Amino acid sequence: MFFHRKELQFHAKPDAPDAVFAKQLQEVIGGQYGEMTVAMQYLFQGWSTRGHERYRDLLMDTGTQELGHIEMLATMVARLLEGAPAYEQEKAAADPVVGAILGGMNPQHAIVHGLGASPKDSNGVPWNAGYIIASGNLLADFRSNVNAESQGRLQVARLYSMTDDKGVKEMLSFLLARDTMHQNQWLAAIKEMEAKEGVIVPSTVPPEWEASEYSHIHFTNSETSTSSQLSWLHETAPDGHNFTVEKPEPMGEAPILKPAPPEAHDTLPEDKLK
């Protein structure tokens, strides 16, 4: 059960309106690595966690915080649009869409959303539930969480560099800090789980299932590849085995497919063509 408080998790008030930056800020709301993605990712991972109450609480706590981040960002977008010359641009251009585009803003902010944020990215592409990962394997999921937080923090840092508004920078600074915390917590949780399960996911695969003679070979698939010079390839692998480096050789025969049935209407085989 969720509860809502009127107060924001952190300040979300710009110094001045900026419709263009409002459009750019949409990326960290509804983009692939935006706050909507991490919020839903953590919540769905938490809701399906079985037998690990501590990790379930960690996921639910963090997912709930991310909902607060969406609220902050949506508020910031709405305030960046307050006083922005959205409708004046439209009148000047005679065509509202052309006017908005010429001004560099998202025309949907004015036409569709009444100067408010939306669950979309900076190009107006709607948020997609396909962005989230919730596999039921916590070690695999936590590694996905590190990636999500890494990409999210990268995008926030880029946005920080794209504005001079002190109010916006203050909020983005808070988000950078929270992304640091979340990367650290997932990395720490991964380390804890790896100590118990090993580093390869899933750890429950029976040994006889895997062709282990190929498990630690790095194939250099290019005559000009320098990947064999990576130092870690000449050390022990994280799972305790030794890496080897080899040039790939074919291990299977050239494939020959049987002719398709007549109802497929494929091209006839060479020996059937006149």
Between CA 70 and CA 116 the distance in angstroms is 13
The structure tokens listed for 78 are 């709405």
Q: What is the 8-class DSSP label of residue 85?
A: -
Cross-strand bridge partners of residue 217? 244
Are 26 and 118 within 8 A, CB to CB? yes
Q: Is 266 annotated as a binding residue?
A: no
Handedness of CA 69, 71, 75, 77 (dihedral sign): positive
Q: What is the 8-class DSSP label of residue 259?
A: P
Q: Is 222 annotated as a binding residue?
A: yes
Place of tokens 């936590």: 142
Between CA 120 and CA 61 the distance in angstroms is 24
Q: Is 149 annotated as a binding residue?
A: yes
Between CA 182 and CA 98 the distance in angstroms is 41
Cα atoms found within 13 Å of the Cα of residue 137, Cβ hemisphere only: 13
Count CB neighbours of 73 within 10 A: 24
Helix or strand or coil: residue 50?
Answer: coil
Q: Is 57 annotated as a binding residue?
A: yes
Q: Is 109 annotated as a binding residue?
A: no
Q: Is 141 annotated as a binding residue?
A: no
Q: Which residues contribute to the annotated binding site for Mn(2+)?
A: 35, 66, 69, 149, 182
Known binding-site positions: 35, 57, 61, 66, 69, 149, 182, 222
Numbered residues of the known binding site for Ca(2+): 57, 61, 222
